[in-house]
Amino acid sequence: MNLKKNIISLFDDRTAGSSSLLNKLNKIMREDMGRTEYLSLIIAEGRKRFIDFSIVLNYLDEIEATLGDKDALTRTIDFYDDYENKVNENIFANGNEYFLKSSKILTLSNSFTIANFLTRLIKVNNKLEVIVTESRPRNEGRILTKNLIKHGIPVEFITDFSCASYLPLIDAVITGADKILSTGNIVNKTGSRNLAILCMYYNKPFYVITSNNKKSKDSEYIPEDRNPEEVWRYRDNKLKVRNYYFEEIERGLITEVITD
């Protein structure tokens, strides 16, 4: 049995955040919910492809548990149709007070949760400006930037390693999370840990904004080396190009984890 183009395209997506991937995956599951064997194939392959995304892995577990019960499967998929709106409303309610007086917030990469939070925040804090780092090598920061601009939020777009120059000028750093480890540490896009360390140096708050279902039973994170050609296609037998997408950020570096 072969996978369809839509799920292959989702598996190959290297720029979307984990919540966005979940939303797209749920729509695909709905399209094929009458094909139990095919859904099982998606689940098996999805566990390999989304190993860094706890929210997706937890979702796949829920879907698998209901495969033998059509009504239960339908309820699960229906629940996730509006899941993001419900979760993001709660996240914003729990965290907006931290940023009502903020004029400059810095973030990185592309996160559906962060975009949703900031587009809600601009409605109650019209002086808000956001600084977004490019987030190499796939430049996901460009996706977030376009999204924020579309919602009327002023954005400064900067290179990853110019962050230190901007830290003295901001009120806070916010990031999402792709996984919350059992230790309380989080896993997020590479560059997040640098920002957390810079915040400690400059005495700035570092907030993580994420949903509770990104919690994992894992106590440690082992970085996965991705395609080196995304960083540099140059080859030499004395050259090793590394491409880590995600990294672990210690709980002690985090001011607050804001969840639903």
Chosen domain end from 26, 47, 81: 81
Domain boundaries, position 56: 5-81
Per-residue pLDDT at 256: 98
CA atoms 170, 164, 136, 155: torsion sign: positive
Which amino acid would we find at residue 95?
Answer: G
Mark which of 81, 113, 129 sits at the end of a domain.
81
Q: Is the domain of 113 the same as that of 76? A: no
Averaged pLDDT in 10-residue chunks for the chain of 260 residues = 92 87 94 93 95 92 94 93 86 97 97 95 97 96 97 97 96 96 96 98 98 92 92 96 96 97
Total of domains in the chain:
2
- In 3D space, the residue among 251, 214, 255, 209 whose CA is nearest the CA of residue 90 turns out to be 209
Q: Which of 21, 53, 81 is the last residue of a domain?
A: 81
Per-residue confidence (pLDDT) for residue 143, from 0 to 100: 95
Residues designated as active site: 178
Do residues 24 and 118 both lie within one domain? no
Same domain (yes/no): 72, 125: no
Residue 87 domain-assigned (yes or no): no
Same domain? 102 vs 231: yes
Q: Tell me how far apart the alpha carbons of residues 91 and 155 are, in angstroms, rounded to a whole number.
A: 22
86 is a domain residue: no
| Claim to verify: residue 60 and residue 104 sit in the same structural domain | no
Residue 110 backbone class (left: φ over 0; alpha: ψ -120 to 50; beta: rest): beta
- Copy the structure tokens of residue 186: 């989080």
